[in-house]
Chains A and B, each alone.
Chain A
């Protein structure tokens, strides 16, 4: 094989007419074959052209282009043993460093290699996946216009190439999935890097080969979210204080911060959020969750949210549900449910109920499921009262059946699933009782549930469950005239003697409420319109003047986001979202204010110091081993 003189190379761009493509390809084949016979001279020169250099001049670009094109013609002659140097040189090339001509030529070579020999398939896929993120030196300048332009060019080509490979090698997507997951940046990588990579994963999910790779991409992303989630320690956010779950969120609403975004949240939550600020992991997690939210939105608009939700649900059941007190990742599920309440929202609740009720699941899974269920039903603004009632019914039925079959004395450890079920019922009712009582049909259903028998059972759930929940529940139940026998409240003594608190230190049930307010700044703004805050819950014992109610009735359609610009009084008047959905009020129940009493009791200043001590929305249990 004759050696191509350097002068010949330089003339290639001008010699296209003289040198046909096929001649060139034949020449390259010759060079590649010669290597197997020991003649490496031309080959080494060829490899030399492929080594990445900075600032190529037009001639060099032309040579590179010709070399790549000819190589893709001779792809089936490339041998992984003899042409290792060539493959290595190609693997070091990055699309991000070249113009579109070279990009196209390089991708053509990669595609030809992938299709010509099964051995190179993984190598080619890895090579393409590597381009999901730019080289390190470009990471910081990603916001510049020319870099954004280049990003679009590179990524659209990479995804098109993946599609083309999938067309030529139909099983390629199956091999792509593990590669994408494996090459995913670690939790310690820079924020732009991991966000961009995740963006590409989601693009694959919604792309042409999404049908095959989609079922891997989302779970992998959720797993990474979870990894980031657990990187954020509890200590940063929370202080253990079982004192009060509800009061925490009630802390004074009348004070407004300067930051508009933060107006809507209680000061203690702000404090928590400030604690999280500046935490790199938190920022990464926040951005990734927002990215996932946006993806879910696009799925909804393209009408495939239900399929995506099924994938998410499966991954939720597998990982998130059993992760020890995941803090933020679960909001992906919450948002997906919020986007399609009728299908996804209902399905989520049903699946969780089913997981709780089925004996085959482990106690830990069942307890987690019911904790998620309770928190979800309480916090999701988009769920209908009828659904909540029907799920309450099944929970009560299950607990009642358990009581009947277990005639034992109180034993928190042995009957933890039962107690967690009871706590869930109470927690849901703390949030929903008032709104359910407003609908006569549901009120009747509630009154017919055998709850009293459960609370009175020898297992004494009221003494074991979290005191805060029990106290709040009994308070509301009393106000709603539940459990009344001849005009006295059955559980009066429990309330008065503060019985349950005495058990506070005893193997108390887990205080895990997964959908407590999200502390991530960006994600929270997506969640907010769909989220019920305790401060806005209308309780049965809220008494108020009629004026407030009239205002709230009339203004009830307004989103609770609007209150930012109003004064505190109006804002509180509008805190009706829970009951507002069911406008079927009975007049006497309407004569109640939604103003949280405790918030009036304590001023912001007086509570501020305490807030720092007990700012928890999400609280770890004193007895983690109970989970």
Chain B
């Protein structure tokens, strides 16, 4: 899943003088106020923070109330879905008109019917609406399915995502991963053939006396893997 990032931030928190005897508590409270809100400066929604270091010196602001600024270094976990990134979420409601998804348990996303690729058809199975793929019978999206979808836009006030299921690599994560496995399996067979070819090449290099130690290790590993694969295939 994309849209998550860790940011290191140098922050300055201004604390009310009445909290001068409990600075760290006040700092944490101030940081907590950032949670689940979109911050333009950080360009994302703060999901978690971790204070790295707290400056022991603070600058006092001149004024009626002498607020003081405490400098701190914080690691922030940010959620910033950008258009055309992939998000994952759980389907909570499915109607003919839309699929409602909750991402990471807090952000709601909607995929309107016009943004669902034509491959999917809404059917009613056992009294429950589902979106089933016309081409792959096993590719089904229903309430409770984890899906991967593309971000169309993001409303940073309500943290509402407008998504799309148009691209081919979107849909039920379970099915996508399964199909990926099939693909990778095919890949593996191809790789195997390639590897065999490479080995021959390497052997030729070795004959020429150009095989480095690193290559030897690599070769051993490859041969081990191959053996393992062969063993698996045989069994």
Give A residues with C-beta under 8 Å from B: 21-22, 25, 73-76, 112, 115-119, 121, 167-171, 174-175, 360
Contact = CB atoms under 8 A, between A and B. Distances in A.
A73 B105 CA distance: 25
Contact of B97 (A74, A168, A169): A74
Contacts of A175: 158
Given A76-B112, A171-B36, A119 B96 contact: no
Nearest to B156: A118
Nearest to B93: A168
A57 B114 CA distance: 37
Nearest to A169: B108
Interface of B: 21, 36, 92-93, 95-98, 100, 102, 105-108, 110, 112, 155, 157-160
A599 B98 CA distance: 77
Contact of B107 (A25, A116, A170): A170
B106 A171 contact: yes
A73 B157 CA distance: 25
A185 to B, nearest CB: 27
Contacts of A22: 96
Given A73-B95, A170-B105, A170-B108, 4 more contacts: A74-B97, A76-B110, A168-B108, A169-B108
Complex A-B, nearest 6 residue pairs according to Cβ-Cβ distance, in ascending order: A118-B158, A118-B160, A118-B155, A169-B108, A76-B112, A170-B106
A168 B158 CA distance: 13
A115 B106 CA distance: 13
B23 to A, nearest CB: 13
Contact of B21 (A118, A167, A360): A360
Contacts of B157: 118
Contacts of B36: 171, 174
Contacts of B100: 115, 168
A171 B93 contact: no
A171 B92 contact: no
8 contacts: A73-B96, A76-B98, A115-B98, A118-B108, A121-B158, A167-B93, A169-B158, A171-B106
Contacts of A25: 96-97
A76 B111 CA distance: 10
Contacts of B158: 118-119, 121, 169, 171, 175
Contacts of A171: 36, 106-108, 158-159
Given A76-B98, A168-B108, A119 B159 contact: no
A328 to B, nearest CB: 30
Nearest to B114: A76
A170 B102 contact: yes
A164 to B, nearest CB: 9
Contact of A115 (B96, B107, B110): B110
Nearest to B21: A360
A73 B129 CA distance: 14
Contacts of A73: 95-97
Most buried by B among A112, A117, A170, A175: A170
